[in-house]
């Protein structure tokens, strides 16, 4: 029962951090994609370049309360983000092809990619990046 509560609290904290960093990143994505008509992949990249540093700092300190070396966790986190971003791009491309053109449909595809990124990042952060020794 205590493990279940701890996991629930962890997921809730991760969710709060995700909302904050995603809101910042998605504002950049939406402004570039729907507002300025930048290619979806480039808009997505710009959004993550803004949101990733915020996500790392909050995940390290608030979510996982990691006390290990910041440099080691930063390198691992960047590796995880890189892989998750590649997954995001794959899903973005597939969803974009399936959904078609138009600003609202581009944003729906972006959300599909973001969901993939979030799940992959949580699992890898918990099991590798911020793993308690």
Confidence (pLDDT) at 118: 86
Contact (Cβ atoms closer than 8 angstroms) between residue 80 and residue 117: no
Please report, for the chain, the start and end positions of each structural domain, with discontinuous segments joined by +. Answer: 2-129
Q: Indicate if the pLDDT at residue 102 is higher than 90.
A: no
Claim: this prediction has a pTM higher than 0.85:
no
User: Can you tell me the mean pLDDT for 62-88?
Assistant: 95
Q: Indicate if the pLDDT at residue 93 is higher than 80.
A: yes
Q: Which two tokens stand for residue 2?
A: 């205590």
Q: Indicate if the pLDDT at residue 133 is higher than 80.
A: no
CA distance 4 to 124: 19
Confidence (pLDDT) at 14: 96
Contact (Cβ atoms closer than 8 angstroms) between residue 36 and residue 70: no
Q: pLDDT digits over 10-68, tens only?
A: 999 999 998 998 899 889 999 999 999 999 999 988 998 888 888 999 999 999 999 99
CA distance 121 to 125: 6
């Amino acid at each position: 029962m205590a493990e279940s509560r701890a996991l629930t609290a962890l997921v809730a904290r991760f969710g709060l951090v995700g909302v904050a960093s995603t809101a910042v990143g998605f504002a950049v994505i939406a402004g570039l994609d729907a507002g300025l008509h930048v290619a979806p992949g480039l808009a997505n990249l710009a959004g993550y370049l803004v949101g990733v540093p915020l996500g790392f700092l909050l995940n390290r300190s608030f979510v996982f309360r990691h006390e290990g070396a910041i440099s080691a966790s930063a390198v691992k986190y960047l590796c995880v983000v890189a892989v998750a971003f590649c997954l995001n791009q794959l899903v973005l491309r597939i969803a974009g092809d399936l959904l078609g053109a138009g600003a609202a449909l581009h944003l729906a595809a972006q959300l599909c990619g973001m969901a993939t990124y979030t799940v992959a990042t949580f699992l890898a952060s918990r099991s590798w990046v911020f793993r308690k020794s």
